Amino acid sequence: MSNQLHETAVQSAISTRWLARSYHYLPTVGSTNDRLKEMLAKGSDDDPPAGTVVLADFQNQGRGRLNRSWEAPPGTSLLLSVLFRPYWPAKQAHWLTMAASLAAVEAIKKEANLTVGIKWPNDLMIFVVNEWRKAGGLLLEGSLSANGRLESAILGIGMNVNIPQEQLPDASTPATSLLVAGGRPIPRLALLAGFLQRLEAHYEVAERGKSPQATWVQQLITLGQSVHVTHTGSGQTLSGRAEGTDTWGRLLLRDGAGQLHTIATGDVTLRDRE
Ligand code: BT5
């Protein structure tokens, strides 16, 4: 099963022009984001081109934000990182996460026909029975040039494809997989190809200067809801109504006193879950 994501299979399944045309499959790695970072750091003639993908069947040091861990049993998931060289202003960085989460939502809808959405800022969610559960997450790590532009950006994504119920991680936000939510296994190769195809298309629109926000915001499950947002880093929590996002993908939160807050990153909990 797990050899289905080897280079030859992937190259014949995808129809991208440049994305994933440089493709590295690894049975096991620490973290695909870290491996891509190491490839970049070498800085030799074989510097990885934009669009390089590193994909693994198993990570023993998979990471979320703030060095939280990302856990997935071997051969059950899509675990990959994509290299971009956007030279965008730093504040545009979130467009990459937006483009990739949109691509993932569309590919999951197409391949698994499930109710799927995005929990701001970086979670892929599936509606199961009566609640939204986490089925994937995105991790963006970038480095800036001296003039503050995004010289390189590594976009990592993990999608729980065929993780059986008993192997789902015990996480703060309840987890699910496409298998558990839909009751049937989903071919990882088709899902990967669909994702990469859409990611290339969304990236190219963003590259022409158009924010993915208008389409992305429609997939947000938090909009119009009462939420708590815990700021990543400081740990401070704000509560209010999630009113929308701005063009950079920042959350607009109206607190009880009517004041509008613009939040760049954080962890959201829906207040009606309490
Ligand atoms: C994320 O972080 O959701 C981003 C995850 C990115 C993973 C990919 S896999 C390929 C690439 N290489 C890497 O090393 N990472 C990227 P965050 O929002 O901080 O959520 C992390 C939290 O999700 C953890 O603290 C757990 O509670 C939970 N979690 C861990 N594994 C999970 C899983 N398989 N499904 C659902 N939730 C999970």
How does pLDDT run across 117-140, given as a tens digit for each residue? 999 999 999 999 999 999 999 999
Ligand 1 pocket list (CB less than 6 A): 31-33, 59, 62-65, 68, 70-72, 79-81, 122-123, 134, 137-139, 156-158, 160, 169, 171-172, 175
Tokens of 114: 């499930």
Minimum-distance ligand 1 atom for the alpha carbon of 80: 10
Residues 242-267, mean pLDDT to the nearest whole number: 94
Q: Which residue's alpha carbon is at the smallest distance from atom 25 of ligand 1?
A: 68
Q: Given ligand 1 and candidates 26, 38, 70, which is best to mutate, with the most ligand atoms within 8 Å of its CB?
A: 70
Residues written for the chain: 274
Report how far residue 243's alpha carbon sits from residue 261's, in angstroms, rounded to the nearest whole number: 10
φ and ψ of 55, to 5 deg: -125, 140
- Other CB atoms within 10 Å distance of the CB of residue 164: 12
Predicted TM-score (pTM) of the model is 0.96
Per-residue model confidence (pLDDT) at position 274 = 45
Q: Which of 190, 194, 200, 153 is nearest to 19 (CA)?
A: 200
Tokens of 218: 């429609």
Report how far residue 144's alpha carbon sits from residue 153's, in angstroms, rounded to the nearest whole number: 9
Per-residue model confidence (pLDDT) at position 3 = 59
Strand partners, 100: none
Q: How far is CA 52 from CA 10, 25, 207, in A?
A: 13, 11, 17
Q: Which residue's alpha carbon is at the smallest distance from atom 37 of ligand 1?
A: 175
Q: Which residue's alpha carbon is at the smallest distance from atom 16 of ligand 1?
A: 156
Q: What is the pLDDT of residues 39-82, one digit of tens each?
A: 998 866 678 999 999 999 999 999 999 889 999 999 999 999 99
Identify the three-state secondary structure at position 211.
coil
Place of tokens 């790695």: 29
